[in-house]
Amino acid sequence: MNLRVLLGASVICALSVPAFAETTLTIATVNNGDMIRMQKLTSDFTAKHPDIKLNWVTLEENILRQRVTTDIATKGGQYDVVTIGNYEVPIWAKQNWLLPLDNMPADYDAKDILPAVSKALTVNNKLYAAPFYGESAMVMYRTDLAKKAGVNIPEQPTWTQIFTAAKAMTDKSNGVYGICLRGKAGWGENIAFLTAMANSYGAAWFDMNWKPEFDKPEWKAALTDYVSALTKYGPPGASSNGFNENLALFQQGKCGIWIDSTVGAGFVTDPKESKVADNVGFAQFPNKEGVNNHGNWLWSWNLAIPASTKKAKAATEFVAWATSKEYTDLVAKQQGWRAAPPGTRTSLYNNANYQKAAPFAKLTLQSIDAVTPDQPSVQKTPYTGSQFVSIPEFQAIGTAVGQQFSAAVAGQLKLDQVLQSAQSLTTREMTKAGYIK
């Protein structure tokens, strides 16, 4: 009898499950340190939302971009939340691939998001993605080596000052290289850096008729300095070094100067990972004498909701949780303030605890505040975007041009040859895409 009741009860239970069905969110994200940390902290979210289950798809940046783009473009509907950059957000929003974040909880405080970051994610006055962390670029250098070499890097250096310092710090016989810069081909690798550098030299990708500008003296000047600095003072194998490779070199004490994303600052000052943690100085992205433009790098990793999802409500709740102030507090409580996701919220930079734990906080904020993606170069441009050009074709063009530039660093091609083929292949792609009539 009892057994029967039990059986009956369990049948009813089984039948009634669909009524309180759990929603399972599939979240595509990039395998960067901060995102991995977020996955570990999700028990906080699931405790607050017992009806939502999370299913993670964690991928390396390029693979993530391929998967997410193909899924969203073919309306596959595989993911409910995707991690994308500020390059994709405006382009995808215009194609109606993303849902606007209209229904964020009342306490979300979207006004707290750094203006530059929030502007990059806003289309037609609507926020289409929430920033998880953001970055600009800056100079990181070894204060001990600079002192030993007798050079001084001011807070707003020029390129000449940087190259002089790099030369003085180079000590190849001891495996110390004056400057480490990205050389690995790719629109998100060397082209990110070179676009920022070219911007600071007064160069631009396209003129107002979408004609590429690699035949202009500004590009030549920027590229000449870049190649000569890397070949004279850079580490061997520079043409295959990206962010991670340079980070490792700097942490091992092999680089004097490293100019890259502000996110790197958190890693090079971490005594557990970096041999040189106590001797790192920071400065703003350099400019060229007479050109008032400090490179303009702005990148953020953001959470967005594809238009193809059927679980928009739950997805919004997750996005709000992961990018909220409470999440930052949670990270700080569990892992210390320095681990807090940087570059997205004003409140973090006003927080005295964070300022104390992160010596790079002030300069990171300054760099992000100073970016002007609407006006990337001192020239007039038909496009927006900071270390990229905000058109769908840019991924292809940037990667192809990046291949050419990395060949110049490897010493395989002459500079003039490189600029010429960059010019012709960009013209070709832009003609194919219908920009140049």
Partner 1 sequence: MATTHQRSLARFMMAPSVGMLLLWMIVPLGMTLWFSFQNYNLLMPGMQKFIGLSNYKYFLSDPGFWTSLINTLEMVAGVLAVSVVGGIIFALLIDQPIFGQGYVRILMIAPFFIMPTVSALVWKNMFMNPVNGLFAQISHALGLQPIDWLAQHPLLSVTLIVSWQWLPFATLILLTSLQSLDREQAEAAEMDGASALARFRYLTLPHMGRAITVVILIETIFLLSVFAEILVTTNGGPGYQTTTLTYLVYSQALLQFDVGGASAGGIVAVVLANIVAIFLMRMIGKTLD
Applying CB under 8 A, the residues found at the interface with partner 1 are: 66, 69-70, 73-74, 91, 95, 175, 184-186, 235-240, 249, 254, 392-393, 395-396, 399-400, 403-404, 406-413, 421, 424-425, 428, 432
Q: Are 137 and 297 in contact (CB under 8 A)?
A: yes
Give me the DSSP letters along 266-330: HHHT-TTT-TTGGGEEEEEPPB-TT--------EEEEEE-BTT-S-HHHHHHHHHHHTSHHHHHH
Rank residues 54 and 238 by Cβ distance to partner 1 and give the closer one: 238
Output the smallest distance, CB 20 to partner 1, in A: 37
Output the smallest distance, CB 120 to partner 1, in A: 19
Q: What is the C-alpha to C-alpha distance for residues 190 and 242, in angstroms, rounded to an integer?
A: 7
Lookup result for tokens 């291949």: 403
Query: What CA–CA distances, in Å, run from 273 to 268, 325, 338?
Result: 7, 27, 14
Output the smallest distance, CB 423 to partner 1, in A: 11
Helix or strand run (H / E) with residue 68: helix 61-73
Rank residues 243 and 285 by Cβ distance to partner 1 and give the closer one: 243
Lookup result for tokens 């500020």: 86
Rank residues 92 and 354 by Cβ distance to partner 1 and give the closer one: 92
228: Cβ contacts below 8 Å, ≥ 6 apart: none
Rank residues 132 and 187 by Cβ distance to partner 1 and give the closer one: 187
Output the smallest distance, CB 392 to partner 1, in A: 4
Q: What is the C-alpha to C-alpha distance for residues 75 and 195, in angstroms, rounded to an integer?
A: 32
297: Cβ contacts below 8 Å, ≥ 6 apart: 135, 136, 137, 192, 196, 261, 285, 367, 371, 386, 387
Residue 105 structure tokens: 């909880």
Rank residues 365 and 409 by Cβ distance to partner 1 and give the closer one: 409
130: Cβ contacts below 8 Å, ≥ 6 apart: 101, 104, 113, 121, 302, 303, 304, 319, 320, 322, 323
Output the smallest distance, CB 206 to partner 1, in A: 18
Output the smallest distance, CB 358 to partner 1, in A: 29
Rank residues 274 and 395 by Cβ distance to partner 1 and give the closer one: 395
Output the smallest distance, CB 89 to partner 1, in A: 14
Output the smallest distance, CB 31 to partner 1, in A: 16
Rank residues 236 and 290 by Cβ distance to partner 1 and give the closer one: 236
Residue 19 structure tokens: 């009524």
User: How large is the greatest C-alpha to C-alpha distance in the chain, in angstroms?
Assistant: 92
How many CB atoms within 10 Å of residue 434? 9
Residue 300 structure tokens: 């953020």
Rank residues 23 and 69 by Cβ distance to partner 1 and give the closer one: 69
The pairing of beta strand 52-59 with beta strand 23-30: parallel
Rank residues 59 and 370 by Cβ distance to partner 1 and give the closer one: 59
Output the smallest distance, CB 180 to partner 1, in A: 11
Rank residues 126 and 172 by Cβ distance to partner 1 and give the closer one: 172
Output the smallest distance, CB 430 to partner 1, in A: 13
Q: Are 133 and 301 in contact (CB under 8 A)?
A: yes
